[in-house]
Amino acid sequence: MAKKNQDFVTHIANIEEDFPQWYTDVVLQSEMVDYGPVKGTMVIRPYGYAIWENMQAELDARIKETGHHNAYFPMLIPESFLKKEAEHVEGFAPEVAWVTKGGLEDLAEPLAIRPTSETIICDMYAKWVQSYRDLPLLVNQWCNVMRWEKSTRPFLRTSEFLWQEGHTVHATEEEAQEETIKMLGVYREFAQNVLAMPMYTGRKTEKEKFAGAVATYTIEAMMKDGKALQSGTSHNLGQHFAKAFGITYQSKEGREEYVWQTSWGVSTRLIGALVMVHGDQRGLVLPPKVAPIQVVIVPVAAHKEGVIEKCEEVCAALKAAGIRVKLDDRDTVSPGWKFNEWELKGVPVRLEIGPRDMENGVAMAMRRDTLEKQTLPLEGIVDACAELLAVIHTGMYEKAQAFRQAHEYDALTVEEMEKHFDEDKGYVRAMWCGDRECEDKIKEMTGATSRCMPFEQEPISDKCVCCGKPAKKTVLWARAY
């Protein structure tokens, strides 16, 4: 069996020797995604889209629980809207795709395909917000966006991708800041309790913040090659867009005031994060809460009397309990082939049921996360599977957390930072004076960027790692996707 397993995965690059190629092989061979006909685009195949649908359902429920409502805004944005917010345009200008013709006629005004929706949403908010009674305005949309990327990789960075973007309006600066931090917390909880991924959280530097924001806050994950992946952001927009688009309200005192705004979002990039945080040499390892198939049942000696019937009975019971289950009763491939295929696809639990198992009143269960086998009682199989899925989630989170902790380093000099990035891989904690010049120099020397200034500041020295001047912030640095 070990030899068969090895043969089956020879088309997947070695995870230790060529991590980027391993990633590409896994997302393609597991049939999550394929390349689109336009450079930089991807086709999300049914298996990959099912993962996104499960993510969307979990996160959408959390967004609605916090009082937000879903809406939809047009994807075409007049050029004049982008020009109203100069800093925003400067940040996105290289990535904007333009529509200049309608049919055979040139358009009077070029239209941008949304790289994000602040400007068009702000135009509508200027109409909808009149009084303090209209606030807060809490809106979210699920949509696609277009950013003309030069270097692309499926899920991680593509010209078109799917996401949600929340856009809220508040009466005071304090309310906007509270919203910004609250939604970052929603993302962190979602990542931990649904995706089994630990996250660093903190504020971005001025260099790394969102164009047009007063402050950007982020959740950052560590991949298995030690690199960082920005997994979600929440922005305090202050009054920048309000002043550009004239979004004002009449206060209780009768004064006309500018509103305060936020925006926040996560995207299909999270699917790429799942692959690179949890995957192994055999392929995907999916957290149970987003796995399209949570349990796959593989009959063993299916031709023997009663085997298929017992598998169908177990399948029906699991399905009735709300567990996403599949019975693989194909007779065109061997059980061993099925084992390998479902391991590649990352199904959390595989149940094997054969004549001997039926005699003993058990099913053989294999955990995808640990590749360990155990028996589960056929009587009470639903509760046993549900409990095992919960155990798997916890185990996956703890494993990712342990990996992260083993790849965190402190550095007092840029040379130490470079050594950690080259030899150890992972995140480096170092002190920073707050000057852009030092931030740029660190990137030039190490190839690493500032990922965030953690909320919990734990100084390791009182001097900047780069220039030696008094340090202002503890910063997490990493090479990133």
**pLDDT tens figures, 275-321:** 999 999 999 999 999 999 999 999 999 889 999 999 999 999 999 99
Q: Where are the domains of the chain?
A: 15-278, 295-389, 408-478
Place of tokens 């480096």: 428
Distance of CA 23 to the CA centre of its chain: 15
Q: What is the dihedral of CA 126, 127, 133, 137, to 10 degrees?
A: -60
What is the CA angle 162-29-9, rounded to 5?
145
Question: What confidence category does residue 2 fall into, taking pLDDT thresholds of 50, 70 and 90?
Answer: very low
Q: Tell me the CA distances in angstroms from 11 to 207, 273, 306, 316, 401, one per residue in order.
A: 40, 21, 37, 35, 29
Nearest of 424, 458, 419 to residue 200 by alpha carbon: 458
Q: Specify the CATH number of the domain 408-478.
A: 3.30.110.30
CATH 1.10.1300.10 fits 15-278, yes or no: no
pLDDT for the residue 10: 54
Fold (topology level) of 295-389: Rossmann fold (3.40.50)
Mean pLDDT of the region 245-259: 97
Per the CB < 8 A criterion, the answer to whether 291 and 323 are in contact is no
Mean pLDDT of the region 181-198: 98
The model's pTM is 0.94
Q: Report the share of the chain in percent with pLDDT over 70.
A: 98
Place of tokens 């990712």: 400
**Does residue 117 surpass a pLDDT of 50?**
yes
Write out pLDDT tens, residues 77-104.
Answer: 999 998 887 776 677 778 899 999 999 9
Mean pLDDT of the region 263-273: 98
In whole angstroms, what is the distance from residue 32 CA to residue 51 CA?
9
- For β-strands 228-238 and 97-102, DSSP reports them as unpaired
pLDDT for the residue 185: 98
